[in-house]
Amino acid sequence: MGKTRRDLISGVLAAAGCVAVGRAIPAPSKPSAPVIFRRGVNTWPWFSMTTEYPPPRTDYAWPPFQSQRPVPHAVDLHKLVAAGFDFIRIPVDPGPFLSFSGMQRTQLLDMLIGAVTEATQSGLGVIVNLQASGTHYWTAERMFGSADAPAFKPYLELVSEVAHRLNRVDFARVVLEPVNEPPQSCDSGVWTEVQTQLLNAARNAAPALTLVATGACGSMITGLDALDAMPLERFGPLLFTFHFYEPYLFSHQGAPWMREPVYRALNAVPWPASAGSLSATLAAVRARMQADTGITRAAQADAYRETERVLTEYFAAQPDVPFLRRYLAKVADWSRRRGVPAQCILMGEFGALRSDARYVAAAAADRARYIRDVRLTAESFGFSWAFWNLFDGMGVMDDVTRNFDEPILTALGLNSTGR
């Protein structure tokens, strides 16, 4: 059979490392291929956890980031390099940057560029990700829900400004991801228009900078699957990203921020499913509910019925490594259809909640097995990855001691003594 245009493009991309993207903006200083990373970690809440005032106010105290939040120090960054990480992804709440102006906005940008510079000097690459935090005013819908959103123009200007500043740091080691988990529906034409404008703003400000594109519906695989990469070629060098937390019943068990009532008391869900039993998990859920005084008994009864239903489905499906492969194979199929080499695809978030004093989640051994299995499956398809998170309830490093969680580091194929 003769080769199609997509076959030919895919061949060129594979040979040159995504070189086909970005042909429309030639420049002597512009690389022909994007920055390629392999193993990274997210560093929330370095530029998150803000001091936003409650409604009806829409501004922030100064400084806008909470002083007690855990942030990586220089020694932590060097420990990441020694362990085998080659990049970090820095989620940045755009709210303060949009709220402040003048010298204060300049100071915020200087703080961000200082952090990026510190990381690159430690030997790490950096992805800067503008990540809406879900605060009451600077929401994703307000900033980039559509091209007509109230704050879309200021958001575009911020993307342009950040891109311009990053391009002057080290475009061989720094990447910009203009948005995180877009809220539009998976096949949304609205998201296509919004992303086109975001990438255009960043590219005009930074001809050499690698950019990151994503699908809609929260950057899930279904959103990427609906994304047509061809019209985005002109914005290269370009990477594509998706997030992966399937199955959520395992990775987010006990998560207090999840809206669905089943997650509140969910615990003792095993990975793989064959490592436990439905009866044991339901018994743990009932015990957790009985100890919960935060909701009524009637609400607990409703939540238990729904929990029993979804857990019955979970154990009937018996999710395991083949389950993960079926999910991630969809990304591999998309990459072949769209002519995007696997090395240009980033699994930008994955992980699972660990148990602590605030909530009961996955057992430590199950969590480590799950993280190992997801990481190995992604690598088998040639995707790079960024673990969520450095700190917090899904972290690989203790907020206080700054010691690594060694089983999780091992699950990531790394170790604290270097490799």
Position of tokens 């083949």?
322
Looking from the CA of 30 toward its CB, the CA atoms found within 13 Å total 24
Q: At what angle do helices 152-170 and 102-121 cross, to 10 degrees?
A: 40
pTM strictly above 0.75: yes
Phi first, then psi, for residue 367 (nearest 5°) are: -60, -45
* Cα(136)–Cα(92) distance, integer angstroms: 17
CATH number for the 5-249+321-411 domain, one of 3.30.1490.20, 3.20.20.80, 1.10.10.10, 3.30.565.10?
Answer: 3.20.20.80
pLDDT digits (tens), the chain, 419 positions: 343 333 333 333 343 345 333 333 333 345 568 999 999 999 999 999 999 999 999 999 999 999 999 999 999 999 999 999 999 999 999 999 999 999 999 999 999 999 999 999 999 999 999 999 878 999 999 999 999 999 999 999 999 999 999 999 988 899 999 999 999 999 999 999 999 999 999 999 999 999 999 999 999 999 999 999 999 999 999 999 999 999 999 999 988 888 888 898 899 999 999 999 999 999 999 998 988 888 899 999 999 999 999 999 999 999 999 999 999 999 999 999 999 999 999 999 999 998 654 555 678 999 999 999 999 999 999 999 999 999 998 999 999 999 999 999 999 999 987 54
Q: How does DSSP classify residue 42?
A: E
DSSP conformation letters of 309-343:
HHHHHHHHH---HHHHHHHHHHHHHHHHHHT--GG
Cα 296 to its chain centre, rounded Å, is: 35
* Cα(343)–Cα(199) distance, integer angstroms: 20
Outline which parts of the chain fall under CATH 3.20.20.80: 5-249+321-411
Looking from the CA of 346 toward its CB, the CA atoms found within 13 Å total 29
209-266 tens-digit pLDDT: 999 999 999 999 999 999 999 999 999 999 999 999 999 999 999 888 888 888 988 9
